[in-house]
Structure 1
């Protein structure tokens, strides 16, 4: 699984004044939760670019004050006006402690419904899951091979080992719908038959 390394500096002062000062230096205030203790640190905005502005699920190895923390993104706050990074919360991965994370879906296989002329519509791009850190992966694979025309794949159809899916089981993830062309062809077929019968 992809991981990025972030070199952070320990924050000793918190509060609005201190965080404003950090932001003025292009530093993002951050907090690591979930471990033995909370760790407040700051790091340059550019250090988070490949972690924040991507749909991929990645680990973050954060080095602060001589210690290293394995983390995942927990929450991101952006400035409402400038859209710049305001604050990031990280969750430290502890071996025997389950974590809640959002994993992207990776669709595989060629749907029989699409081969029949239908159009694939994906309704969800990720799932919220709960698992131990060792079972975290870059994505959850969803096989579309048996998805038929006018068929749905729902959350309950996703099989992921050692992972508990927290989304509602009946929510559709992907479906294959009839295209306009296919509808027109189907509508035209009986009409031709009817014309033939009149002769």
Structure 2
């Protein structure tokens, strides 16, 4: 993973009011922690930082230029406005080249499993130890042609060179199961509801079908009576 280079500005204003002023200028307030130093409060360019995080993924590595000094920083927490979707605040941890860090790396499924199967991702993130400058963006798991009943454990994953698995090797990551039909799923649901003592209300469609069936039955009875 290459580090995105971004020029940051030191900041001395804090609080909600200062943060709002920073965001109005299309900038992002952030803090860099770690390595026994005091937290560095900085301001980052909004658009440039957003693009760097999109490119780097969940563990984006940035090379920050702060007051003429360079600092490698690994993304730890990103706050995003839930409505406007702009960056609100970022927490970084300071790192150095060659340093080992613990990260959570997302799992990506690739390929198509065998016919009539359903692929279930039981573990969506893998905990690894990797060099700060060589963190994988994702762990790919191929399910190409796999039959129902196949299970892929954490110990069976192919990890990038230099990465060490920290997750229990027996953890189930991907489970390839037999695809269940809609009819079978409905039958299982009805059975479970019956065991739980739940009475299902008829839908409008089911009520209409029942009324139509009753109407046909009544007409049949009348026809029989008239023939007699």
TM over 0.5: yes
Q: CA deviation at 1:30?
A: 0.6
RMSD of aligned alpha carbons: 3.2
Matched residue count = 180
After superposition, where does 1:152-191 map in structure 2 within 5 Å?
152-160=151-159, 162-167=162-167, 169-180=169-180
Change beyond 3 A, Cα 1:162–1:61? same
Q: What does residue 43 of structure 1 align with?
A: 44
Deviations 1:135-188 (A, max 9, x none): 52333343546954222212243353543434454443212222347xx9xxxx
SS at match of 2:93: strand
Q: Give structure 1 stretches of 5+ with no counterpart.
A: 185-199
Q: CA deviation at 1:42?
A: 0.5
SS at match of 1:52: helix
Please give the TM-score of this superposition, normalised by the length of structure 1. 0.70
Q: CA deviation at 1:55?
A: 7.8
After superposition, where does 1:7-156 map in structure 2 within 5 Å?
7-35=7-35, 37=37, 38-53=39-54, 56=57, 57-79=59-81, 82-95=84-97, 97-107=99-109, 114-115=113-114, 117-144=116-143, 147-156=146-155
SS at match of 1:115: coil
Deviations 1:14-63 (A, max 9, x none): 23332232122221101112235232210122122223346835421211
Larger-Rg structure: 2
Deviations 1:65-91 (A, max 9, x none): 111222221001123554432110112
Q: Give structure 2 stretches of 5+ with no counterpart.
A: 185-228
SS at match of 1:19: helix
Please give the TM-score of this superposition, normalised by the length of structure 2. 0.63
Higher relative contact order (CA 8 A, sep 6+): 1
Query: Matched residues in 2 for 1:154 and 1:118: separation?
Result: 18
Query: Matched residues in 1 for 2:53 and 2:115: separation?
Result: 39
